[in-house]
Amino acid sequence: MAKRMVCRVADVPENGLKECEADGGLKLVVANAGGEFFAFQAICPHQEVPLCEGMFDGSTLTCHMHLWQWDVRTGAPLGIAEAPLERYPLVREGDALYLGSEPTALDVGELFSGLAPATLEKLASLARREEHAAGAAIYQRGDPADDFLILESGRVEFQIGRDPAGFMLKKGEIFGWAALLENHPQRIASARALEKSVVLRFNGKQALAVLESDPASGYVVMRRLSGLIARFFVVAGAK
């Protein structure tokens, strides 16, 4: 595939932001952090506000509308932000910036983003890619819970227990996380593709073995996982 130019280096002011359209029509916001460049989705995941209108101090990107904030190096949410930014790797050649390879669901996912590269690579090697047609059940309550899944593209609805209202999942979000827990051999929820969707399937035991070999990453993952589970069940006293 042809190289896709994003912008000239000189277009992005030092410690500033610039909205750019990469060749082929992908809108990005590019941040210049002291001469290092980072690119993200151009629009805030909260209320569709252009992030180029936000504030940037060289390390933290803030949407001016409701003060959601992200770490510019990773796109990880900070403070009151509820969702990460999708990051697009950039490659610098001369005085221009080009799109690097597109981030995978593993890179942008809320569970594994920012882990040690060697660990991410091992996890990626465990992934099996599956495609589900619109309406297809990915798993049902009572099914064995050996694997967890990460949504790569499409839309998946995730329902816990008998609650008729599902959670709508987006790219990078994990479901079937019972596979990472002890003593949860069966699904307590069901998951269904709402449109044609691609998911990455991981065996829970294999993934845990990788995390045990890198306990620092494993600790980060377990912290994130417990926060994620709490989000599904804790309702009152949000702030």
Partner 1 sequence: MRVQVNARNRAFHFEADNGEKILYAGLRAQAGLPYECATGTCGTCKARLVDGDIDDGWPHAPGRKHLKPERGEFLMCQCAARGDVSIEVASFVYPADPGACRVGARAGTLGTPRALTHDVVAVDVELDAPCEFEAGQFMAVNAPGVPGMRGYSMVNFDQPARRLEFVVKKKPGGGFSEWLFSGKPAGARIQMVGPLGKATFHPGLAKNILCIAGGSGIAGMMSILARAKAADYFSKNKVHVFFGVRTMRDVFFLDELAAYPKADITVALSEEDPPANARLRFERGLVHEVAKRAMAGKYRDVRAYLAGPPPAVDAAIRVLLLDARLTADNIRYDKFS
Which residues contact partner 1 by CB under 8 A?
46-48, 55, 57, 62, 64-69, 79-80, 82, 163-168, 231-232, 235-239
Question: Six-digit token pair at 39?
Answer: 């690119």
The token pair at 198 is 């691609």
| Residue with Cβ nearer partner 1 (136 or 228) | 228
Residue 62 C-beta: closest distance to partner 1, Å: 6
Is residue 56 a contact partner of residue 17, using CB atoms and an 8 Å limit? yes
Q: Which is nearer to partner 1, 4 or 170 (CB)?
A: 170
Compute the least distance from the CB of residue 189 to partner 1, in Å: 13
The three-state secondary structure class of 130 is strand
Q: Are strands 55-56 and 36-41 parallel, antiparallel or unpaired?
A: unpaired
C-alpha 178: how far from its chain's center? 19
Residue among 67 and 133 whose Cβ is closer to partner 1: 67
Q: Which is nearer to partner 1, 52 or 123 (CB)?
A: 52
Separation in Å, CA 119 to CA 92, 114, 187: 26, 10, 27
Nearest CA to 191 out of 146, 225, 239, 148 is that of: 148
C-beta of 10 vs 165, nearer to partner 1: 165
| Closest separation in Å from C-beta 236 to partner 1 | 6
Shortest CB 44 distance to partner 1, Å:
11
Whether 148 and 181 have beta carbons less than 8 Å apart is answered as no
CB of 57 to partner 1, least distance (A): 5
